[in-house]
A and B are shown apart, each in its own frame.
Chain A
């Protein structure tokens, strides 16, 4: 589990937008949420930030579609206990056969924990609330800390929504994701989560 840092981080991003303000105390009932996102990758060697855009759709308890439109179209789907990642190749989405899906199943358990309000029980991060609009996640494990310094979540004024997530990897290396056009509790067909 300690080395499987990548997917937990990704999945953390996927789930956090549904996390309520004052998470430990006042979780609101979010059945579904969808939003657009813009991701900025900052790295010392990059002349300009690498911008990625896409959408995500989440339905409780464990259905998710995380879709990049640019620069590389790709889709991560989670539904009914199965997970698949697709990347566009030659104009069509192809299942990523390089992924170890059994490990992703473990991550789903983490997600369900958070959705059930057990955010403080996370094995990977210590969670603090520096102010009313900020959640700070610090890795518990030293090896993890070498890879992810911290994750900062900025909460929106509207309860239950998130404005941004910033993942700090090290000096001059971080990923900032901001969310917009959020829609809560709209009916979403299951097909959104099981086919690219």
Chain B
């Protein structure tokens, strides 16, 4: 009875040990596509939105739990909340574009600052265009790739896909400065909601020593 046991799975996510094969970013050949980010940015919702998802956390050993996630997008910040299925608020915070964040409510173990930072990383990867220098290229697959490289040498590849609103409609892959994958996101079953491409399902994999999987199912999407 030392901790709220319903939340243990999420805590253990932070301390789980997962190892994965080294995955370096693929080599790109020059693309004839326009060197702008219109196609690359198309997978990220514009303007103000509210998304409600079911979030299924799973550690590499299968331990996990399901909660409800609320994400509000606006120009300057991402506002988030995590709820139990029973409606109890576990975590509520604002994540600003300049890397600051403000936690309004955090039930233990969510009061660990590492949890907030990890959550900020995840939702920014899903909902915000990456920062850094952009080049477009094509892999051997061949997949069109929007490659963003930031000042620290970290690479984020956005694979916009065919945008035909079928499964696996886009992918995002993040690589560390050591050129090893640390995060991937697949958007599946994309819906056209008010002219925005919104995945009905998202699957996020976090690699490395704190690896986990997060499966998100869209419950509602509303423009604010």
Which chain A residues have a beta carbon within 8 Å of chain B's beta carbons? 1, 3-7, 9-10, 13, 39, 41, 43, 45-48, 50, 52, 68, 71-72, 74, 87, 89, 96-104, 106, 147, 167, 169-170, 173, 175
Contact = CB atoms under 8 A, between A and B. Distances in A.
Contacts of B219: 71-72
Which label, helix, strand, loop or mixed, suits the secondary structure of the A interface? mixed
B60 to A, nearest CB: 13
The listed residue with most A CB atoms (<10 A of its CB), out of B2, B5, B12, is B5
Interface in B1-60: 1-10, 12, 50, 52, 54, 56-57
B139 to A, nearest CB: 30
Given A3-B108, A6-B88, A47-B222, 6 more contacts: A13-B86, A72-B219, A98-B6, A99-B8, A100-B5, A169-B105
A97 B66 contact: no
Contact of A89 (B3, B56, B79, B224): B56
12 contacts: A3-B1, A45-B50, A45-B79, A47-B224, A48-B222, A71-B54, A71-B219, A87-B65, A87-B66, A98-B9, A106-B1, A167-B87
A103 B2 CA distance: 9
B50 A46 contact: yes
B107 interface: yes
A109 to B, nearest CB: 11
Contacts of B62: 97
A39 B5 contact: no
Contacts of A52: 85, 87
Nearest to B217: A72
Contact of B88 (A9, A50, A87, A104): A9
Contacts of B65: 87, 96-99
Contacts of B81: 43, 45-46
Contacts, number: 119
Contact of A6 (B2, B4, B66, B224): B4
B84 interface: yes
Contact of A147 (B2, B52, B107): B107
Contact of B87 (A41, A87, A97, A170): A41
A104 B5 contact: yes
Nearest to A14: B86
Contact of B8 (A89, A100, A147, A169): A100
Interface of B: 1-10, 12, 50, 52, 54, 56-57, 62-66, 68, 70, 72, 79, 81, 83-89, 92, 105, 107-108, 219, 222, 224
Given A47-B222, A50-B68, A97 B3 contact: no
A120 B12 CA distance: 36
B52 to A, nearest CB: 7
B1 to A, nearest CB: 5
B188 to A, nearest CB: 13
A72 B64 CA distance: 15
B75 to A, nearest CB: 16
Contacts of A43: 70, 81, 83, 89, 92
B72 A45 contact: yes
Contact of A72 (B9, B66, B70, B108): B66
The listed residue with most A CB atoms (<10 A of its CB), out of B12, B87, B107, is B87
